[in-house]
């Protein structure tokens, strides 16, 4: 039997259950989980704020561990065989079809309607499909990446915000010397700060809060931060302009999540600049937009950024394996929780003060 | 003396005055105007709806004619001398500085604060600076283009919407086979339809009105049109989806001008598609936007498009000189008015039924 | 039994054989072939000029027909079921893995090492895997597209050069008003001419030959053509410059296939222009390049273009279904051959004078 | 009188002359030179290896100093007045016309035929137009940038290779996680290494030499270097493949200058990768290219990169003013020479062992 933390939704406590170890299909594998992330999405899941979730589920979409059993052969991205004992992570998004109009004609696989996600849209009925468990079932075709020498904890320091933020920074097309503004100091915003620095931004500014999160933002590379709770919108605009020759940021990455931030991102950006809207992951309603002032006359480019694909995940793994590039993330405070402490971990994440909470099922 | 139609603003009638012929500065020239456009902007100018206009002005920003006097030498884009007797048009935007941050660092010359426009932001105090006159003063450095064999009327068939619509279609990055939706059937929308067809769109749809404008839209190349006055927003969304496999247009060009159109453009576009907002030329207020549904989850790209630069103007001249490419525009109905009929011309343009109204100062 | 034309390579005559009708795997289908193309690649195949070909093979990579038998369900790109009796074409490239580094990280599926091609890298041992047969076996996962109302002959008017040329013209990023030069007047060059016109090029020039091919080039939309057999390289450079204000073409598409053409493409293009190299499909050796003059000082962009993917194929089908866009191709002369006339068809194609040769297995 | 080092070409010794201080035209200024660069181009100039140089000249194209006299007003990029006493640098390229086809239609101002360069294409006949002098004449319209708090020596640590390398790295479109290969370890190659690191490359490799230059390359951020004098071309290809999963670099920047390097850059790059050719500044002849293997089948993108414009210069100034970003350059060894030691400085630069040689006219 495998111990797993099971989530029922509607705010009910997560409970630890014993699940039978599955029969392996051909080209599937079992992962002995070492660490799995507890992230803000898990708090949303706890309270049933996302649609299409097949409760009960085993949470934990980003995880690392050791391959303990393989049926038949499975290969990595280079066609090389994976073997029992290999230390790996895997892309939580699975079943991207590569056969539909969005995958093949629009080349926008993040909009493929077939996508399933470990720990979110797979449920207990699909087997051991979340990382908050001693073992996780890697279905045939799940994309694994060997971690090489990267310590488990180092890769997990970034977590699931990593590929999303990397995708957003890709879209931002930052040039060396740019001033980049990040709205929001949650996990995606913090990773976006670090990626913006890695992409050559000469100055990264962050508007967010509360104060402890801004301290982390500066640690991730923000040159200056502005506490959203101390300045109103006009004052924040002024704060940005004072730091950008009166023009606004070259590029703004919205990772705040409140609708107003999407339009503020446009207003805080210079004419002919670029805005990436990545924080509006859930529907929080509407905001007033003046399309003449905010888009047209500004000659502004605005890019919605949804999810991530294997390339973002792959490159995030490169970064976390790199001694210098990964520094900002590895320096974040982390805390490990056992399966039995899952509810406690969720409470800590909901409180927003911790750098990174991890489930270690061996505790 | 030179006869010129002079506009005073605040809805007052345009009046014809005699203006002394100017002394030419070195490297300036006089143009004997053959035709000058009467466009929707001139109706806005009549009623003082634009800011920063130095009334009294001589309207007419896009004009053609013959160089009648040159002081010193002036050259064209290829460094070849222009000579008296040459048939030319010229870029109405002048004084782009090529020295400021927007021109040189952002490479966004349409956002250069120094730009001046013949017939709009130059006034009578600046001399013969509008096309509704027998002669027009080409200041030193104004960029002229020879018309070659292109009849004056053919170039004027497109008018000032031409470079703006071309800029918008550039931004739209249309690919062969795309379905393109144009919102609005005013001059920019109509030209955008024709440019979308020229850019390889397999299908161009247009939502606009009233019916006579939609007839012109189909003449410009729209495969199907939808009368905005007969369907509500939900029905229009349905109309688009029925024609796009349920997904929405690959690319939408908003050229309608009402704020709601900017957000409808996002909703009528497929996930991971592209929207160009070019119609919001004046401030008509706000509209409600849902950044989660309309931008982020759609993985949508939205581009504001402001004005045009010399390259758009130059390429528009190529198109109008091209027998096949210019056909859609040349087929539009046109009517010529004398300087004394300027008020009548403005009334006709305000009515919105005519293809193109032109001032012929020699009538 | 199914009659099929079988190619042995090394210049041996194609022979017609009876092949047993296969058992269908789940999610596979049988296509009653209506028409299949005979193209220049088939002539190369006849003479064993390509490597990795598993002779004996059934040639015919681009084909159309009617689904006559389906086992289980198969769906199209929109997830809609295909049914017996549907008129379809299909993408000849199959088994793109969507799992390797090139597919997923580089997003360059045309460089996926797993790709197989009907009629070229599938052989008789793989079953009815070429279109020169009464029936063709659609393996599970082969991507079919319904032809709707498009007559079989209209789609086949373009043939296999269509997606390749469309890919090349995509890479060329042609803008409205551009002057485009196409080197070569073979099938890819001719289709590139037509696609360049569809993409907004104001002028398309073609250097190729012999004279009858240039007549076809003009029919496809080339404004002017230059016979490569009558002018030497310097004279051809002069010919281009005379038509481009002394600067060279804005964009050049090399579809000639001889190594010298790749460098001439660079020389015939203006500074800061773009060259697409698509004609160098086989290894014909080296050519001398001056990287200072031909690339660096010119500030030139050169793009190699290899094969095509489903999006190019899909969009090519849109174009051929479009009354106006498909005109240039449909006007080409075509000739149909029976299976027994396959050798005759190959000889005609080798001669290079025909617009398009097709195998009709029902003749 | 102003002391200036004057170069006569043909290998003749540079000599120091007294030049009368010029009358200032309106909107011109005098710069008291603090430091001016001695670079490889100056060695080429000494030996008359460049065409179009109006000897005698005052060398020194990149310089810093203090504005000592201004006639009338001059403004910076933000429209703010420059004042006597301001510490500035300026863009050596002047007279870009912003009126010709290349400037306005192609938007490729580096190909503007009107460009003049201080210290290279301006000569003594044009006045104090090089930095190897106590004072330098800033003609009307020359673009100055204030240095703020940046020490003179810090900005000069990068020198003229800085904007060129930044332009090349812009063209390289490096993504976070990429492996970038730089060919050449001269000034442009070294700066390209540092900019590639700043742009998010996870690994930068360099092939160059001799050994002391490779030590500098590693100091600039190259993870591993390969001595071109110890491995032949096949071995170097193998060296790259061993470090790139057998595929080649994602992006290669050629900054070596020998023709063979341009084609090796293609061979050392992965399929569907990108090559920037920036090192072929002078004509060193031809190299054999196989367009099938090196471009077409590789689906490769090759970009020639010529010179730089104001935006590259401006952003280079941002980088050098940035404490962290400028570190790699500031750590380079530098040596100052007096005007009288100019010939000695040239000899040292020709020897290639020094990080950076500077003329300090006050010594």
Which structure tokens are listed for D168? 């090349």
Query: Which candidate, C300, C313, C296, C251, places its Cα nearest to that of C278?
Result: C251
According to DSSP, the β-strands at D334-337 and D356-359 are parallel
Chain B: closest CA distance from residue D99 (Å): 6
Question: CB-CB: which of D104, D141, D309 is closest to B310?
Answer: D104
Question: CB-CB: which of D284, D300, D304 is closest to C300?
Answer: D304
Chain B: closest CA distance from residue A277 (Å): 6
pLDDT at site C351: 87
Output the 3-class SS for chain C: CEEEEEECCCCCCCEEEEECCCCCCCCCEEEEEEEEEECHHHHHHHCCCCCCCCCCECCCCCEEEEEEEECCCCECCCCCECCCCCEEEECCEECCCCCCHHHHCCCCHHHCCCCEECCCCCCHHHCCCCCCECEEEECCCCCEEECCCCCHHHHHCCCCHHHHHHHHHHHHCCCCCCEEEEECCCHHHHHHHHHHHHCCCCEEEEEECCHHHHHHHHHHCCCEEEECCCCCHHHHHHHHHHCCCCCCEEEEEECCCCHHHHHHHHHCEEEEEEEEECCCCCCCCCEEECHHHHHHCCCCEEEECCCCCHHHHHHHHHHHCCCCCCHHHHCCCEEEECHHHHHHHHHHHHHCCCCEEEECCCC
3-state secondary structure of D307: coil
Which structure tokens are listed for A128? 């051991």
Contact residues on chain B for C319, CB-CB shorter than 8 A: 176-177, 202
Rounded Cα gap, residues D201 and A177, in angstroms:
16
Which structure tokens are listed for C36? 């299949």
In chain B, which residues touch D (CB < 8 A)?
Answer: 75, 77-79, 96, 98-101, 104-105, 107, 141, 143, 309-311, 314-315
**CATH number reported for the structural domain that contains residue C57 in this entry:** 3.90.180.10
Q: Would you call A290 and B295 a contact, using CB atoms and an 8 Å cutoff?
A: no
- Residues C141, C229, single domain; the answer is no
pLDDT digits (tens, 9 = 90+) for D129-162: 999 999 999 999 999 999 988 999 999 998 899 9
Q: Would you call C105 and A311 a contact, using CB atoms and an 8 Å cutoff?
A: yes
Q: Which chains touch C (3 or more CB pairs under 8 A)?
A: A, B, D
Contact residues on chain A for D200, CB-CB shorter than 8 A: 195, 198-200, 325
Q: Would you call C280 and D303 a contact, using CB atoms and an 8 Å cutoff?
A: no
In terms of Cβ atoms closer than 10 Å to its own Cβ (0-12, 13-18, 19+), residue C194 is buried
Number of A–C residue contacts, CB under 8 Å: 46
Question: CB-CB: which of B98, B101, B314 is closest to D78?
Answer: B101
Of chain B, the percentage scoring pLDDT greater than 70 comes to 100
Kindly tell me if the per-residue pLDDT of C234 is higher than 80.
Answer: yes
- Residues C341, C296, single domain; the answer is no
- Residues A176, A152, single domain; the answer is no
Query: Which candidate, A3, A29, A32, places its Cα nearest to that of A15?
Result: A3
pLDDT digits (tens, 9 = 90+) for C322-339: 999 999 999 988 999 999
B217 domain-assigned? yes
Note whether A358 and A37 are within 8 A (CB): yes
pTM over the 0.95 mark: yes
pLDDT at site B361: 98
Mean pLDDT value of segment C315-323:
93
Among C255, C295, C309, the strongest candidate for a mutation testing the D interface, having the largest count of D CBs within 10 A, is C295
Rounded Cα gap, residues A111 and A113, in angstroms:
6
pLDDT digits (tens, 9 = 90+) for D294-320: 999 999 999 999 999 999 999 999 999
- Residues B145, B11, single domain; the answer is yes
Note whether A137 and A131 are within 8 A (CB): no
In terms of Cβ atoms closer than 10 Å to its own Cβ (0-12, 13-18, 19+), residue A301 is buried
pLDDT digits (tens, 9 = 90+) for D35-61: 999 999 999 999 998 889 999 999 999
Q: Would you call C104 and A315 a contact, using CB atoms and an 8 Å cutoff?
A: no
Note whether D254 and D184 are within 8 A (CB): yes
pLDDT at site C354: 79
A149 domain-assigned? yes
C109 domain-assigned? yes
Backbone angles phi, psi at C48, to 5 degrees: 55, 40
- Residues B6, B140, single domain; the answer is yes
Q: In whole angstroms, what separates CA B125 from the centre of its chain?
A: 25
D327 domain-assigned? no
pLDDT at site A125: 96
Mean pLDDT value of segment A292-304:
97
Total domains present in chain D: 2
CA-nearest residue to D315 within chain B is B105
pLDDT digits (tens, 9 = 90+) for B91-125: 999 999 999 999 999 999 999 999 999 999 999 99
Crossing angle between the packed helical segments D187-198 and D161-172, to the nearest 10 degrees: 50
Q: Is the peptide bond before C210 cis (omega within 30 degrees of 0)?
A: yes
User: Which contacts qualify for D76-80: CB closer than 8 Å, 24 or more apart?
Assistant: D76/D144, D76/D145, D76/D146, D77/B99, D77/B100, D77/B101, D77/B104, D77/B105, D77/D143, D77/D145, D77/D310, D77/D314, D78/A245, D78/B100, D78/B101, D79/B100
Note whether D67 and D83 are within 8 A (CB): yes
Question: CB-CB: which of A105, A311, A314 is closest to C310?
Answer: A105
Question: CB-CB: which of B177, B245, B319 is closest to C202?
Answer: B319
Task: Spell out the alpha helix ranges (H) of B280-341.
Answer: 291, 310-320, 327-330
- Residues A106, A180, single domain; the answer is no
Rounded Cα gap, residues C242 and C342, in angstroms:
45
Q: Would you call A272 and B303 a contact, using CB atoms and an 8 Å cutoff?
A: no
Q: Which chains touch B (3 or more CB pairs under 8 A)?
A: A, C, D
Chain B: closest CA distance from residue C239 (Å): 19
Note whether A168 and A255 are within 8 A (CB): yes
Report in angstroms the alpha-carbon separations of C201 from B309, C39, D15. 19, 27, 56
What is the number of helices (H) and of strands (E) in chain A? 12, 18
- Residues A148, A22, single domain; the answer is yes
Contact residues on chain D for B141, CB-CB shorter than 8 A: 99
Among D96, D274, D299, the strongest candidate for a mutation testing the C interface, having the largest count of C CBs within 10 A, is D299
pLDDT at site A354: 79
Over chain D, what is the mean pLDDT?
96
Q: Would you call C301 and D303 a contact, using CB atoms and an 8 Å cutoff?
A: yes
Name, in order, each residue with C-beta under 8 angstroms of A129's C-beta and a sequence gap of 6 or more. A57, A58, A118, A119, A122, A123, A136, A137, A139
Listing DSSP states for A147-189 in one string gives: -TT--HHHHHTTTTHHHHHHHHHHHHT--TT-EEEEE--SHHH
Question: CB-CB: which of A247, A299, A307 is closest to B305?
Answer: A299
pLDDT at site B355: 78
Rounded Cα gap, residues C208 and C183, in angstroms:
6
Q: Would you call B105 and D143 a contact, using CB atoms and an 8 Å cutoff?
A: no
Which structure tokens are listed for A90? 């895997």
Report in angstroms the alpha-carbon separations of D265 from A36, D277, D304. 42, 8, 12
Note whether B59 and B119 are within 8 A (CB): yes
pLDDT at site A352: 80
- Residues D177, D299, single domain; the answer is yes
Question: CB-CB: which of B110, B261, B272 is closest to A108?
Answer: B272
Among A170, A275, A284, A295, the strongest candidate for a mutation testing the B interface, having the largest count of B CBs within 10 A, is A295
Question: CB-CB: which of B75, B104, B315 is closest to D310?
Answer: B104
**CATH number reported for the structural domain that contains residue B247 in this entry:** 3.40.50.720
DSSP letter (8 states) at residue D124: G
Kindly tell me if the per-residue pLDDT of B352 is higher than 90.
Answer: no
Rounded Cα gap, residues A275 and A299, in angstroms:
11
A258 domain-assigned? yes
Question: CB-CB: which of C177, C203, C315 is closest to B177?
Answer: C315
Listing DSSP states for A200-242 in one string gives: T-SEEEEEE-SHHHHHHHHHHT-SEEEETTTS-HHHHHHHHHH
Mean pLDDT value of segment C338-347:
97
Q: Would you call D311 and B141 a contact, using CB atoms and an 8 Å cutoff?
A: no
Chain D: closest CA distance from residue B75 (Å): 9
Crossing angle between the packed helical segments C187-198 and C161-172, to the nearest 10 degrees: 50
pLDDT at site C17: 98
A286 domain-assigned? yes
Rounded Cα gap, residues D189 and C10, in angstroms:
50
DSSP letter (8 states) at residue D296: I
Question: CB-CB: which of A78, A96, A107 is closest to C101?
Answer: A78
Q: Would you call A311 and C79 a contact, using CB atoms and an 8 Å cutoff?
A: no
Contact residues on chain B for D77, CB-CB shorter than 8 A: 99-101, 104-105
Q: Name beta bridge partners: A207.
A: A183, A226
CA-nearest residue to C251 within chain D is D106
- Residues B254, B132, single domain; the answer is no
- Residues B299, B341, single domain; the answer is no
B173 domain-assigned? yes
Angle at C268 between CA C263 and CA C270, to 5 degrees: 115
Name, in order, each residue with C-beta under 8 angstroms of C266's C-beta and a sequence gap of 6 or more. C252, C275, C289, C294, C295, C298, C300, C302
- Residues A228, A284, single domain; the answer is yes
CA-nearest residue to B142 within chain D is D99
Rounded Cα gap, residues D86 and D73, in angstroms:
13
**What residues make up the domain containing B282?**
162-304
Q: How confident is the model at residue C188 (pLDDT cuts 50, 70, 90)?
A: very high
Instruction: Give the other-Cβ count within 10 Å of D230's Cβ.
Output: 11
CA-nearest residue to A112 within chain B is B271
Over chain B, what is the mean pLDDT?
96
Q: Which chains touch A (3 or more CB pairs under 8 A)?
A: B, C, D
Instruction: Give the other-Cβ count within 10 Å of B41's Cβ.
Output: 22
DSSP letter (8 states) at residue D27: T
A218 domain-assigned? yes
CA-nearest residue to B99 within chain D is D77
**ipTM for the whole predicted complex goes beyond 0.90:** yes
pLDDT digits (tens, 9 = 90+) for A85-120: 999 999 999 999 999 999 999 999 999 999 999 999
- Residues C51, C131, single domain; the answer is yes
Contact residues on chain A for B281, CB-CB shorter than 8 A: 292, 296
Q: Which chains touch D (3 or more CB pairs under 8 A)?
A: A, B, C
Kindly tell me if the per-residue pLDDT of A217 is higher than 80.
Answer: yes
Output the 3-class SS for D190-214: HHHHHHHHHCCCCEEEEEECCHHHH
CA-nearest residue to B314 within chain D is D105
- What's the average pLDDT block by block, 10 residues per block, for chain D (363 residues)? 97 97 96 96 94 96 97 94 97 95 95 96 97 98 94 91 97 98 96 98 96 94 97 97 97 97 98 97 95 97 96 95 94 94 96 87 96
Which structure tokens are listed for B156? 């004027």
Number of B–C residue contacts, CB under 8 Å: 57
């Amino acid at each position: 039997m495998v111990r797993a933390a099971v989530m029922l939704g509607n705010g009910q406590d997560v409970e630890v259950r014993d699940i039978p170890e599955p029969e392996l299909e051909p080209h599937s594998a079992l992962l002995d989980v070492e660490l799995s992330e507890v992230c803000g999405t898990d708090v949303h899941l706890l309270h049933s704020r996302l649609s299409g979730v097949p409760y009960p589920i085993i949470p934990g979409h980003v995880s690392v561990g050791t391959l303990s059993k393989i049926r038949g052969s499975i290969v990595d991205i280079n066609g090389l065989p994976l073997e029992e004992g290999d230390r790996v992570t895997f892309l939580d998004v699975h079943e991207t079809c590569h056969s539909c109009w969005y995958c093949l004609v629009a080349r926008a696989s993040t909009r493929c309607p077939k996508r399933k996600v470990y720990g979110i849209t797979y449920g207990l009925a699909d087997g051991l499909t979340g990382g908050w468990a001693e073992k996780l079932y890697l279905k045939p075709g799940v994309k694994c990446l060997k971690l090489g020498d990267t310590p488990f904890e180092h890769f997990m320091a970034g977590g699931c915000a990593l590929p999303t933020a990397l995708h957003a920074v890709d879209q931002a097309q930052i040039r060396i010397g740019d001033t980049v503004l990040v709205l929001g100091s949650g996990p995606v915003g913090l990773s976006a700060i670090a990626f913006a620095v890695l992409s050559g931004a000469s100055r990264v500014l962050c508007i967010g809060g509360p104060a402890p999160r801004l301290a982390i933002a500066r640690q991730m590379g923000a040159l200056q931060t502005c506490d959203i709770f101390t300045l109103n919108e006009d004052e924040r605009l002024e704060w940005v302009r004072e730091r950008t020759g009166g023009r606004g940021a070259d590029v703004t990455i919205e990772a705040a999540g409140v609708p107003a931030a999407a339009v503020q991102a446009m207003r805080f950006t210079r004419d002919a600049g670029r805005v990436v809207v990545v924080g509006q992951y859930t529907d929080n309603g509407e905001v007033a937009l003046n399309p003449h002032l905010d888009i047209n006359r500004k000659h502004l480019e605005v890019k919605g950024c949804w999810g991530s694909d294997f390339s973002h995940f792959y490159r995030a793994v490169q970064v976390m394996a790199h001694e210098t590039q990964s520094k900002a993330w590895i320096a974040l405070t982390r805390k490990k929780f056992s399966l039995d402490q899952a509810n406690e971990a969720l409470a800590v994440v909901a409180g927003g003060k911790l750098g990174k909470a991890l489930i270690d099922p061996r505790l």
